């Protein structure tokens, strides 16, 4: 379903080029289409970043608060040192590079979005 939404966003700008009058700037429409796609990708990558940072916080913390419903709801579990060392190694060597890449990609999307917005304003 999500892929159909992306395909719709990409084709939306191209189809409107044929539906609008000839005096309308088609390059401006393509820039507007790229801006909308950038916003969608930015929201998706922010969602990925929030999910992975939540996992990293649970791995790096020495105690875990149970948030699920059940008899253990609201309890705090203190990790053993062997579990804590394993979790911190996993968090440091597997999760932190993913979070770093997501941050860089989000900054790249913001940079591309600002360039496209400036080009759109100049047209």
On the question of pLDDT at 12 being above 70, the answer is no
Closest CA to 36 of 14, 1, 9, 16: 9
What is the model's pLDDT at position 23?
A: 63
Q: pLDDT tens for residues 22-44?
A: 666 667 777 877 888 888 889 89
pLDDT average, residue stretch 46-73: 86
On the question of pLDDT at 102 being above 90, the answer is yes
Residue 17 vs residue 8, higher pLDDT:
8
Closest CA to 62 of 45, 32, 83, 43: 83
User: What does pLDDT average to over the chain?
Assistant: 83
> Contact 33/14 with Cβ under 8 angstroms?
yes
């Amino acid at each position: 379903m999500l892929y159909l939404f992306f395909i719709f966003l990409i084709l939306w700008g191209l189809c409107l080029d044929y539906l609008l009058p000839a005096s309308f700037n088609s390059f401006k429409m393509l820039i507007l289409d790229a801006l909308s796609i950038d916003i969608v990708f930015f929201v998706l990558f922010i969602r990925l970043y929030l999910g992975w940072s939540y996992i990293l916080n649970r791995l790096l913390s020495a105690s875990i608060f149970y948030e699920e419903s059940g008899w253990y709801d609201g309890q705090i579990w203190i990790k053993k040192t062997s579990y804590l060392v394993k979790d911190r190694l996993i968090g440091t060597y597997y999760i932190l590079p993913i979070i770093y890449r997501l941050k860089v990609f989000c900054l790249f999307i913001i940079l591309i979005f600002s360039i496209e917005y400036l080009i759109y304003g100049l047209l």
